[in-house]
Every structure is written in structure tokens, then in C-alpha cells.
Copies of this chain bind each other. A is one copy, B any other.
Amino acid sequence: MTATIVDGKEIAAAILGEVEKSVAGAVSAGGRRPHLAIVVADDPAALSYTKSLQKKGENVGVEVTVEKAAAARGPGIAVLSALADDPAVDAVILQRPFIDRSVDGELSDLISPTKDVDGQSSASLGALWAGRPCFPASTAAAAVLILEHYDVQIEGAEAVVVGRSTVVGKPAAALLLNRHATVTICHTRTKELAGVCKRADIVIAAAGRAGLVTGDMVKPGAAVIDCGYNFLDDGTVVGDAVFDEVAEVAALTNKAVGGVGPITTAILLKHVAGAAVPTEVESF
């Protein structure tokens, strides 16, 4: 095995330590705790995720409340509009899938930019592409933070993003472009995906398809950040890349578990703390 393996837990712990310190400082200076509201449909998986986020938030002093909403357009609009107007709420997430892709998009656009800590609205995504102040989607930010943490050269690099979701692929492409990589976005209709990946100094695997990126698709010495988190039939979690193969070729890569995920959560909570102090919103 040639690759350095990303220690997601360590990186996340460092970020969470900073968040805890900054929140404690703000509270001891008389401020209130940052407050994240998560809007969820009454779905077991979504509720389990939000519970875990709630606990992680508590650990660093961030208040996380859950707004269970009927998964329908009208109630969704009502809940999100109320949260946009509520001065006691610093940050809002719409837990997807809420209804379906098109309605989720419309509802996401009701999150005001200053509270949009997971970059879900069109305004946030556009601000990211335009290089204007915003919170980028946490998973995309985690992937790029990993590259920076391990001193991977982004400027001038050929970066290939596999997957074009608004949650990972597209914001990751924007973040890499803003850092002056030459960025290619691939997807299911890309011809010769292997050849395109093989040109890359940086691969962001974010297609949501288990084992899509194999070792022979990776240029020796490349950095392969695997944002995939796919459940196999037996319950095993695997990434979008074949870890054992890629780790033999790449200079840097990560496992599906303990890689991007913990950093994503840490960045999200960092954004919440930032949203409570609006002057901290910056360009990414």
C-alpha cells in the first residue's frame, strides 16, 4: 500500500475543538449558543441522522433542534419560511430527501443565505460559483479541506469530479475551480470515464455508486477523495472507489467510514457557529 490514508476522525476532532472553543468564548462573552434547526420528514433514517447530529452539536455547545414536518409542499414552505424569519435560529438544514428532487429544490431556496450552513439554496450554490461569500455544502468542503490538510497541490492541478449532485459534485467542482484547479465534471453519460479519471491529479468520487472508481483508473500518485457512502446488501458500507486497489496506486485516499463523513459533520457545525456570527461568512 502506497497511499497515505486520511484520518478523518483526527481532522474532525481538531475542527470540533476549535468550534467548541469559539462557541464557549462567545457564550462567556454574553452571547447565546448557536442554534441549528433541522427540518425533517417523519423518516426513520433521517431522524436517526439528526439525532446523531444533535449529540455532536451538544458536545461543542451548539443547540440543534429538530422540526418534524409533514413531507408536503405547503407545510414545508410554512416551516422553512418561519425559520427564515426567526431571529433565534442561526442556521437551517432541510434534511433530504424531503419530498422529491424538484420540490426539495424549491424548498431549499427558502433558506436564507446567511442561515444556509449546508449550501442548499440556489443563492448559496451560485455565490460559491461566483466567488461571493457563502457557506459551501459541507461534504464538498470536507473533500477540499482534506486536500489542503495533506498539502495536495490544487492550483494548476487536473481535478476530476465524478458525480454532479448539488450536494457534493457541483460544489466540489466550484471549490476546486476557485482554488485554480482545471476541473472536469464527469457523470453517468461520460464516455471513457476510466480515461478521464486517469488524467487527474485529484479525483473526487461523488457518484453514489459502490466501487465505480477502480485502481486502474487512477494515475499513480494522485489524490483520490472518496465521498461515497454506499450500503451493500449485507450492511457493509463501501465508498465509490475500490479502496484496496486505489490505495495501491494513489498517494492519498480515504476509507468510506472514518474519512469524509466525520469532517463533513465538523464543518457543518463550524458553519453553524459562523452563522451565529455573521461577519464570519466568507468566500470559499
Contact = CB atoms under 8 A, between A and B. Distances in A.
Nearest to A193: B182
A196 B190 CA distance: 16
Interface residues of A, number: 36
A268 interface: no
B121 A126 contact: yes
Interface centre among A122, A124, A173, A191 (most CB of B within 10 A): A122
A175 interface: no
A128 B173 CA distance: 15
This chain's copy number in the assembly: 2
Contacts of A170: 129-130
A11 interface: no
Contacts of A158: 191
A189 B180 contact: yes
Given A124-B126, A125-B126, A129-B166, A182 B177 contact: no
A185 B177 contact: yes
Interface of A: 105-106, 109, 113, 121-132, 134, 155-156, 158, 164, 166, 170, 173, 177, 180, 182-187, 189-191, 196
A80 to B, nearest CB: 15
B184 A183 contact: yes
B183 A130 contact: no
B186 A185 contact: no
A109 B132 contact: yes
Given A109-B127, A180-B187, 20 more contacts: A105-B132, A122-B129, A122-B130, A123-B123, A124-B126, A125-B126, A126-B127, A129-B166, A129-B170, A156-B189, A158-B191, A164-B177, A177-B185, A180-B189, A182-B185, A182-B189, A182-B190, A182-B196, A183-B184, A184-B184
A207 to B, nearest CB: 13
